[in-house]
Amino acid sequence: MTNQKKIVLITGANKGIGFATARELAQDGHTVLLGARDPERGGAAATELAGKGLDARFVRLDVTDPDTIAAAARLISETYGRLDILINNAGITRDRPHPPAELPVAALREVYETNVFGAVAVTNAMLPLLRKSPAPYIGNVSSGLGTVAFLADPEPAMLPYANLLAYNSSKAALNAVTLIYANALRDSGITVNALSPGFCATDLNGHRGQLSAEEGGANIARQVTEDVPSGVFLNENGGTYPW
């Protein structure tokens, strides 16, 4: 896969891990479409990459807005005729400073709209384009914080992150979505996996983390261009996570 030029769409790609992933894949020679809801930020991110001679383009895409999702699918269809890799990277958190019992339900809904429903909406809209690829891949950027193994027995160092009701449960839901799509699309030849960039320092966590966004992006770029089975949760260090 790495030797063939791919058409790649990344949601939430104007900064952080999404942008780092876009840069890595563009540097590898792929055409990268940077999905972002803010035209100014998304355009600036794409311009930065294009200015370095990379094949990058901004695509306005708010994963909570069906109209922008449909418009993005039309643009990709008219311009490229197919999509090879979809990376559902857009994600938010609204947990801090609330303990689980005090998190407003409206905040929980907001997180699910982006982290779960948005990924499903974009996936469904892009499936016709993915079916036109010789080797289609859907990668859902998840987190080890959403695994049942972690939630059942968090390691002491990660206890401060074990009670994030909205974020952790949304990633657990995204993991389930990943498995359901992997099974449903297996006969179509579409690979569907959950991806872990690692614990990266980004705006999402107040820049606390063991890895940089650049390292996380390199992990995601590697995962979506490796020859791997469908229906697994890829570990940033190689191999897989337990669900």
pTM reported for the whole predicted model: 0.94
Query: Cα(221)–Cα(84) distance, rounded to whole angstroms?
Result: 13
Q: For this structure, is 167 an active site residue?
A: yes
Give Cα separations from 178 to 87, 129, 183, 194 (angstroms): 12, 18, 9, 6
Taking only the tens place, the pLDDT of each residue in 41-67 is 999 999 999 999 999 999 999 999 999
How much is the pLDDT for 199? 76
How much is the pLDDT for 195? 97
Query: Cα(205)–Cα(227) distance, rounded to whole angstroms?
Result: 31
Residue 3, pLDDT above cutoff 90: no
Residue 232, pLDDT above cutoff 70: yes
Of the listed 137, 161, 167, 241, which one is catalytic? 167
How much is the pLDDT for 140? 98
How much is the pLDDT for 19? 96
Taking only the tens place, the pLDDT of each residue in 167-205 is 999 999 999 999 999 999 999 999 999 999 987 656 555
Query: Cα(116)–Cα(177) distance, rounded to whole angstroms?
Result: 8
Residue 1, pLDDT above cutoff 60: no
For 209: left if phi > 0, alpha if psi spans -120 to 50, otherwise beta; the answer is left
Ordered structural domains, the chain, with CATH = 7-234 (3.40.50.720)
How much is the pLDDT for 207? 46
Percent of the chain with pLDDT over 90: 88
Selected residue with higher pLDDT from 214 and 9:
9
Q: 43: Cβ–Cβ under 8 A, 6 or more apart, which residues?
A: 58
- Structure token digits, residue 115: 């982290």
Of the listed 161, 171, 181, 241, which one is catalytic? 171
Taking only the tens place, the pLDDT of each residue in 83-111 is 999 999 999 999 999 999 999 999 999 99
